[in-house]
Amino acid sequence: MALPDDLTLTVNGREHRLRAAPQTPLLYLLRNDLALNGPKYGCGLGECGACTVLVDGRVARSCVLPTRVALGRRVTTLEGLGDRQQPSAVQQAFIEAQAAQCGYCINGMIIAVTALLEQDPDPSETTIKRALRHQLCRCGAHVEIIQAARRAAEIARARRIEVHEADPLDARSPSL
């Protein structure tokens, strides 16, 4: 068994010092050590997407990602996108669209849509379906989830316009 090591992990913009074997799946440290319970343990095999996080802006399955791969990179979990007071555009859209039944898959859906909108701010339905094709929902909430993804693009667009109108020189993009 690998011996524990002192690891420095950057999650949601904060550095954390953790003692763990570098091979430990990232999900275990996020949930058990950092109490970040947005990412869920579903299959544990990299197949369902419930555990999805962003690593340097790219979707990653944290249940099978050895923590050593995330060292020196930016890890973002659901908690890092926004909160109850200031949800990200994608979080807001999922709330508005009531796009959940049990909710277990929703972490992965929101993270995947966030990554998609970073690449394509106005995705077609086909593009959304392609981006979500490996995120599994056992409740069958797919229709609402796709509606939420489309709504997220609208909200993000409206927020960009608001920022621009408030300060035409402000080039920041509001969170997706």
Tell me which stretch binds ligand FES (CB under 6 A): 4-12, 69-77, 101-109, 151-159: 101-109
Nearer to ligand FES, 87 or 108 (CB): 108
- φ, ψ for residue 15, nearest 5 deg: -85, 140
Residue 56 sits at φ, ψ, to 5 deg, of: 50, 40
Residues 7, 11, 54, 63: which binds ligand FES (CB under 6 A)?
63
> Three-state SS string across 139-175, please?
CCCHHHHHHHHHHHHHHHHHHHHHHHHHCCCCCCCCC
Of 21, 55, 139, 163, the one binding ligand FES (CB under 6 A) is 139
**41 is a site residue for ligand FES (CB under 6 A):** yes
Nearer to ligand FES, 150 or 157 (CB): 150
Per CB under 6 A, residues contacting ligand FES are 41-44, 46-51, 61, 63, 100-105, 137-139, 141
